[in-house]
């Protein structure tokens, strides 16, 4: 199977072992939000992070939200400061109980806290969500 197949679904892989699974997406200043990945049924989020590699310099689009469903929702992270290289971590303890676990599949999205003005020339980050599934 090709590893960079554009038709491959964004569904998180699920191994038959008790291991921590990961959703990950690279983002940059030219993007306006999107999908991080799809959490499988029964996934429990244990941790996550917005790793800013290069600070975002758009006048308004410099805070990142991570959530589920609609792009820009902020159930997981709200307005993570992306102006300079840093890491904003979140754990299951930071999340409302209803956002840690769902019996249903969930689409994890990211977006800016405020719409981009389009004057940005720099900004790169990696969004990561670590989760476990019940392999029973």
117 vs 2, residue with greater confidence: 117
Check whether 102 has a pLDDT greater than 70. Answer: yes
Residue 59 CB: number of other CB atoms within 10 A? 11
Q: How confident is the model at residue 3 (pLDDT cuts 50, 70, 90)?
A: very low
Question: What is the C-alpha to C-alpha distance for residues 48 and 51, in angstroms, rounded to an integer?
Answer: 10
* Average pLDDT score over residue span 56-78: 90
**pLDDT tens column, 26-60:** 999 999 999 999 999 999 999 999 999 999 999 88
């Amino acid at each position: 199977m090709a590893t960079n197949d554009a038709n491959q679904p964004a569904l998180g892989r699920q191994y038959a072992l008790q291991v921590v699974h990961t959703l990950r997406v690279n983002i940059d200043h030219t993007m306006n939000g999107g999908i991080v990945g799809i959490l499988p049924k029964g996934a429990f989020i244990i941790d996550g992070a917005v790793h800013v590699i290069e600070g975002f310099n758009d006048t308004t689009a410099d805070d990142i939200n991570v959530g589920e469903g609609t792009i820009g929702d902020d159930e997981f992270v709200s307005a993570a400061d992306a102006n300079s290289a840093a890491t904003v971590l979140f754990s299951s303890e930071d999340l409302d109980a209803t956002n840690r676990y769902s019996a249903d599949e969930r689409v994890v999205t990211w977006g800016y806290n405020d719409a981009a003005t389009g004057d940005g020339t720099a900004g790169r980050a990696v969004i990561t969500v670590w989760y476990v599934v019940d392999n029973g």
